[in-house]
Amino acid sequence: INRTEEEYKKIFHSINGLLLPGGDVDIQTSQFSRASRIFYDLALKANDAGDFFPIWGTCQGFQQLTVLTANRNLLTLTDTKSVALPLTFTAAANSSRLFQSFPKDLMQSLSEENITANFHSWSLSIQNYTRNFKLKKFYRVLSTNNDGKREFISTMEAKHYPFYAVQWHPEKTPFEWIDKPGMVHTTSAVTASFYTARFFVSEAMKSQHHFSNLAEEEQALIYNFSPVFRGIHAVFVQNYYFD
């Protein structure tokens, strides 16, 4: 939906956080990228003023955040289309805001088991991150992965803002049941999914943003739309369609 900047500003002051999901659109020219830029800039200004507002990016959302911060596309092709991988944690992971509350046994599972789902062709390489001053100044790398040829960032968080990004898909594990490579449903994978969700919800609860009235809030709820069953062989079992 192509909204005006003023409409996006009103939405921004009504919601408690922003989730930039996975997908397949242009992260420099699409309406998704335009809306992301508006919310990103609003979030920077709000947090600088003491108005807490978190952002989470998953897969394409991760990639979108790198473009918003660097003001250029620094992504590199990797062989990571349908594969589950363990995370290679950096020294910063244990003291990070994101992972510091994760149980030790879960951190061990994440580092040793193939439980993070990767469904992407583009990644931010360690090399490109290190060479770009804006990215290196803004984000702290929490985990990396390797496709056999290239090391890329799989988890990061902003140093001074409540912004978080994962190149993997925590949400697929408990909610997507299509039989294809890279899809994992083990107990540890599901646990990782719920701990990431729990963390971001706890961040959103710190925000004081709210709708101006109950009617506006009810109108914005997902419950106004019905998911459409596409079949067990579709790319996604259920789809939402918004006018």
Active-site residues, by number, are 59, 169
Cα 126 to Cα 110, 143, 153, 155, 210, distances in angstroms: 20, 10, 6, 12, 38
Handedness of CA 95, 99, 104, 107 (dihedral sign): negative
* Token duo for residue 226: 């019905």
**Contact in structure between 51 and 208 (CB atoms under 8 Å):** yes
The letter for the amino acid at 9 is K
Beta strands 116-123 and 18-20: pairing type? unpaired
Identify any residues that bridge with 238 across adjacent strands, giving them in sequence order: 229
